[in-house]
A = this chain, B = another copy of it.
């Protein structure tokens, strides 16, 4: 099992067994270095060695997120995320917590749309002692009876808390309306489903869904690659693959939705379709998004917040499922300015389609490159980034590759892309005292 370094490698290389590349050069001690190792059971280990840090960050993605919750059990993944930490392998709840605390591991387990995400940050010297415990958590969770009711209660309380936070509630509603089912399902679940759930049903669901097939283990920071591969093989090699859940996909409801609520601020959410992250053109959209909403000089901020003073918060961000991307826009504003805010937002979308200027693009590229370099200094950020890189495109990208990608963005390419990909249909959700009229783009749908 000789290590193989790749920087960058092409999208088919990850299927190549490392043993077939025995003569790859050893990693240079002062340069970041990326690695990949595929386990026979379907788990993929990706890693980025960061010479300058003493920390190591781990992100383990298991395809058992909210999207694959059974149809009538919305929220299972969220309850599982709590329950699974209440003891695993030979360690009960208390022993598991004590073991990880004794190694100074900051960790979290959360239900995302596609994945359950187990993340940890620690000193590199403790990495190999932590991996077997992470393996226990996903392969041998105890799911003790006495931990089930508290886990359900906590999920119900999360739902209550969201009702008290209109901006949070909006962010869930706009995803649910825009994304195809089941990718818009809120990971916090539904009250009726949670109240009907039993420990036995959740155990069955857990046994049916936690699989190495399609799981990704990302490590960034300080480690020794051969030792890491050996430790991962030992801890995760026996994890049995299951038949993956096949998701039945249905279109999202889309259109416009208003929820009347006597809030002090009106909440406005917008969504429109975009290319997926794996599309080679997604870098063009990302550059353009930085012109629209990248910071204090970006259009939404200067035009709607600064010049017109319409709202304190206004922004838009690109997100991507594996086969489909979307842009989500948000504003929280005074009810008597909400209509004008929505109109102005849509006006900016028209301007967006018409293209950006050379000056705007240059500025956006500088910001993107700065953030790439700064991200490279954080083991936690890099572990998350390479995990999702692998999910979206079957390979990881080095910082150098990301920099080259940004350098290759030209005004011509961006503006041709924007003209060819107009905002065809807008999904709009509002929460507040009164409904708004969606004028302009919405009508084109």
Complex CA gap A54/B264 in Å reads: 44
Is A163 part of the binding interface, using a Cβ–Cβ cutoff of 8 Å?
yes
Contact A101–B161 (Cβ < 8 Å): no
Chain B residues with CB under 8 Å of A263's CB are 164
Residue of B nearest to A312 (CB): B157
Contact A106–B295 (Cβ < 8 Å): yes
Residue of B nearest to A107 (CB): B296
Distance in Å from the Cβ of A121 to the closest Cβ of chain B? Answer: 6
Contact A123–B370 (Cβ < 8 Å): yes
Chain B residues with CB under 8 Å of A339's CB are none
Contact B309–A153 (Cβ < 8 Å): yes
Distance in Å from the Cβ of A93 to the closest Cβ of chain B? Answer: 7
Complex CA gap A305/B363 in Å reads: 47
Q: List 7 A-B contacts (CB under 8 A).
A: A52-B377, A97-B297, A100-B297, A101-B295, A106-B367, A106-B371, A150-B306
Residue of B nearest to A376 (CB): B54
Is A373 part of the binding interface, using a Cβ–Cβ cutoff of 8 Å?
yes
Chain B residues with CB under 8 Å of A251's CB are none
Chain B residues with CB under 8 Å of A150's CB are 305-309
Is A279 part of the binding interface, using a Cβ–Cβ cutoff of 8 Å?
no
Contact A97–B54 (Cβ < 8 Å): no
Q: How many copies does the complex hold?
A: 2
Distance in Å from the Cβ of A72 to the closest Cβ of chain B? Answer: 24
From B100, B103, B157, A334 is in contact (CB under 8 Å) with B157
Distance in Å from the Cβ of A54 to the closest Cβ of chain B? Answer: 6
Q: With A154-B312, A370-B122 in contact, is A264–B163 under 8 Å at CB?
A: yes
Distance in Å from the Cβ of A390 to the closest Cβ of chain B? Answer: 24
Is A374 part of the binding interface, using a Cβ–Cβ cutoff of 8 Å?
yes
From B107, B154, B312, A158 is in contact (CB under 8 Å) with B312
Chain B residues with CB under 8 Å of A153's CB are 309
Is A84 part of the binding interface, using a Cβ–Cβ cutoff of 8 Å?
no
Is A226 part of the binding interface, using a Cβ–Cβ cutoff of 8 Å?
no
Distance in Å from the Cβ of A317 to the closest Cβ of chain B? Answer: 16
Contact A264–B366 (Cβ < 8 Å): no
Is A117 part of the binding interface, using a Cβ–Cβ cutoff of 8 Å?
no
Residues 289-315 of A at the B interface (beta carbon under 8 Å): 295-297, 302, 305-309, 311-313
Q: What are the 6 tightest A-B residue pairs by CB atom distance, in nearest-first order?
A: A52-B52, A150-B309, A104-B370, A157-B312, A153-B309, A97-B297
Contact A264–B160 (Cβ < 8 Å): yes
Is A145 part of the binding interface, using a Cβ–Cβ cutoff of 8 Å?
no
Is A85 part of the binding interface, using a Cβ–Cβ cutoff of 8 Å?
yes
Contact A53–B377 (Cβ < 8 Å): yes
Contact A53–B52 (Cβ < 8 Å): yes
Is A213 part of the binding interface, using a Cβ–Cβ cutoff of 8 Å?
no
Chain B residues with CB under 8 Å of A307's CB are 150
Is A369 part of the binding interface, using a Cβ–Cβ cutoff of 8 Å?
yes
Q: With A150-B308, A161-B312, A312-B161 in contact, is A296–B55 under 8 Å at CB?
A: no
Contact A123–B378 (Cβ < 8 Å): no
Distance in Å from the Cβ of A442 to the closest Cβ of chain B? Answer: 25
Complex CA gap A153/B334 in Å reads: 10
Residue of B nearest to A155 (CB): B312
Is A165 part of the binding interface, using a Cβ–Cβ cutoff of 8 Å?
yes
Is A332 part of the binding interface, using a Cβ–Cβ cutoff of 8 Å?
yes
Residue of B nearest to A146 (CB): B307
Complex CA gap A24/B149 in Å reads: 63
Contact B265–A363 (Cβ < 8 Å): no
Chain B residues with CB under 8 Å of A367's CB are 101, 104, 106
Is A21 part of the binding interface, using a Cβ–Cβ cutoff of 8 Å?
no
- Give per-residue flags for A189-233: 1 if the beta carbon is below 8 A from chain B beta carbons, else 0: 000000000000000000000000000000000000000000000
Distance in Å from the Cβ of A204 to the closest Cβ of chain B? Answer: 23
Complex CA gap A157/B167 in Å reads: 14
Distance in Å from the Cβ of A289 to the closest Cβ of chain B? Answer: 15
